[in-house]
Structure formats: C-alpha cells, structure tokens
Amino acid sequence: MVLGEKAVLHSTATVRNIRNQRHAIRVGNNTHLKGELLTFAHGGEISIGEYCYVGEQSHIWSAAHISIGDRVLISHNVNIFDSLTHPVNPRERHRHYREIITSGHPVSIDLGEAPVCIRNDVWIGCLSIVLGGVTIGEGAIVGAGSVVSKDVPPFTIVAGNPAKFVRELSPDER
C-alpha cells in the first residue's frame, strides 16, 4: 500500500491487499481510514484521493478498479464493489467458495468486473451500496441507505433503492 503524508489508518481500519502488489492500493495525503480496503487475488486497484474519509464498517472491495477523488466523505457502513464478488452460476460459485477456503482467493476468475469512479467532493451516506460500473459525479450526494446501480450526475442528490434523482444542488450548495 502507498500511504500519503498525514494519512491515518485508525485502529478499526483493515487493509487486505490479497494481490500483494504495493501500488494496488493508494491513499492520498490527509485521508482517514476507519473501514476496510480489499483487492482480490486476480486483480483490483483502489485509489483514494486527498482529505477523504472512509467510515467505520465501510468496505471497499476491488477486483477491477475503484477510483475515489479528493475530499470524498464515505460514511459508516457503506459498501463499494466493482464486481459481483462471486460467480452467478451456482456450480462456479460453489467452486469459487471451495477454492477460497482451501487455497485462498483464485488468481484467475471472471466476476463481472466493472470499474467504479467517485469524483471529487462526493458524500455517500451511511448504509449505502455502490455497485460496479457506476460513476458518481463531482459534488453529488448519495442519501443514507441508497443502492447506487447507475451513474449519478454531478451536483445532484440521489436516494433510495434503487437510487433515484431527488434534486439538483443549488449554486450556494456547490
């Protein structure tokens, strides 16, 4: 892991770089981590910008690439995934499970990976889930308990399951 100046891994933070490649996880200056960062054995990269916060019990799991901009607030109990985490086919899923418990995460597997991009100044409310292939635009707010399965335009508020447009932020809220 590459840790920026004055970045803090709090006692609740967990970093699991299963790929074991130093540059697979990069954390910017002045960022505070209280949750979990994980890259899979077959791939995954996590880059977090400067002055970000990842709350307690939040999980960022990458099998492709998760990019988080600067000044992003990820509240507690948020989950961000850039893959399905397990195969859809039940036989493949069981084989995957058996491999994990017997020899560790597989170095070759298709988990439907799709990168996630979270732009600068985003706030993701507690208990939210961000799914693979999503871009959350600059300055956007994701309401608590939302499931984000589609792109979020810049400077908007979305909420719900699935997350839907609530309103645009006014000029003075930007």
**How far is Cα 78 from Cα 153, in angstroms, rounded to an integer?**
20
Q: What does pTM read for this prediction?
A: 0.96
Residues of the chain whose pLDDT is less than 70? none
Number of domains observed in the structure of the chain: 1
Measured over the CA atoms of residue 111, residue 114, residue 52 and residue 121, the dihedral's sign is negative
DSSP helix/strand/coil, 90: helix
Strand partners for 129: 79, 147
The strand pair at 156-159 and 164-168 is best described as antiparallel
List, by residue number, the catalytic residues: 86
**How far is Cα 5 from Cα 8, in angstroms, rounded to an integer?**
9
At residue 12, the pLDDT reads 98
- As given in the structure block, the two tokens for residue 117 are 């991009």
Q: Using one digit for the tens of pLDDT, what is the confidence trace for 108-139?
A: 999 999 999 999 999 999 999 999 999 999 99
* CATH number, residue 103: 2.160.10.10
The strand pair at 135-136 and 156-159 is best described as unpaired
Burial letters 24-34, b for 16+ CB under 10 A, else e: bbbbbebbbbb
DSSP helix/strand/coil, 143: coil
- Domain range spanning residue 63? 2-173
